[in-house]
Amino acid sequence: MRSVLIANPKGGAGKTTLATNLTGYFANAGESVTLCDLDRQQSSLRWMAFRDPAVPPITGHFAATQMLVSLPKEPDWVVLDAPAGLQGYKLSDYLRLVDKVVIPVVPSIFDMAATEDFLISIRQEMRGRKNAVGIVAMRVDPRTRAAAMLEEFLTHFDLPILSYIRNTQNYVNVAAGGLSIFDTPRSKYKKDIEQWNSLLQWLKD
């Protein structure tokens, strides 16, 4: 079993979008995958409830009301979708449980400011664990000024940008049907799927 926590204390950063699409990817790659929803809002589990039984299955696990002391061992992958505001001892406990942490960051001054303290504590807690933390630049085109701003911001934390995910209604549309961009490999998702390659490679390394 390998595990990844998707976290950022800022609401709406793209945690559930990353978590649901990531589990969709693993399911379509023939791997068994459990999606642990740590959020009381249960967005991930609601998404799963819409999922067509004909597409590759994902197991759901609701874990928002009590602390997870261990992760299920049976699946190939466990993906944890964190709630907004996750910090302090709860964050520390999850960091101890997982192999990797992926942090979606939207390159706006509001999002970056709200994420700063979180990145400082993650760096501190994960020191000594090589290649365990990475950033996903969310809703951004890498050629823009916003992307350059994010890159400059991240130089202070020495964390890699694993992928740039563009802003597109494709994510909104697939989510509405309990799907990921990997469940419906139509040509219109080709560009989006390509953007995930470097993140997926990093997770498997």
Ligand X SMILES: Nc1ncnc2c1ncn2[C@@H]1O[C@H](COP(=O)(O)OP(=O)(O)OP(=O)(O)O)[C@@H](O)[C@H]1O
Among 12-20, 65-73, 119-127, 193-201, the segment contacting ligand X (CB under 6 A): 12-20
Phi then psi dihedrals of residue 82, to 5 deg: -80, 155
Integer angstrom CA distances of residue 44 from 23, 34, 103: 10, 11, 17
Q: Which of 92, 131, 167, 201 binds ligand X (CB under 6 A)?
A: 167
Of 63 and 147, CB closest to Mg ion: 63
Size of the site for ligand X (CB under 6 A): 18
Alpha carbons 97 and 78: distance in angstroms, whole number: 11
Alpha carbons 61 and 106: distance in angstroms, whole number: 27
Of 28 and 41, CB closest to ligand X: 41
What are the DSSP calls for 146-164, one per residue? HHHHHHHHHTTTT--EEEE
Question: Does residue number 14 form part of the binding site for ligand X (CB under 6 A)?
Answer: yes
DSSP state of 189: G
In angstroms, what is the minimal distance from the CB of 173 to ligand X?
9
Question: Does residue number 172 form part of the binding site for ligand X (CB under 6 A)?
Answer: yes
Residue 166 three-state SS:
coil
Question: Does residue number 165 form part of the binding site for ligand X (CB under 6 A)?
Answer: yes
11 binds, among Mg ion, ligand X, none (CB under 5 to 8 A by kind): ligand X
In angstroms, what is the minimal distance from the CB of 37 to Mg ion?
9
Residues 81-100 close enough to bind ligand X by CB under 6 A: 84
Q: Which residues of 180-198 are buried (b: 16+ CB within 10 A; e: fewer)?
A: bbbbbeeeebeebbebbeb
Question: Does residue number 161 form part of the binding site for ligand X (CB under 6 A)?
Answer: no
Residues found near Mg ion in the complex (CB under 5 A): 15-16, 43
Among 25-33, 57-65, 147-155, 164-172, the segment contacting ligand X (CB under 6 A): 164-172
Residue 108 three-state SS:
coil
Closest-CA residue to 93 (of 7, 21, 202, 158): 7
List contacts with ligand X (CB under 6 A): 11-17, 39, 43, 84, 138-139, 165, 167-168, 171-172, 175
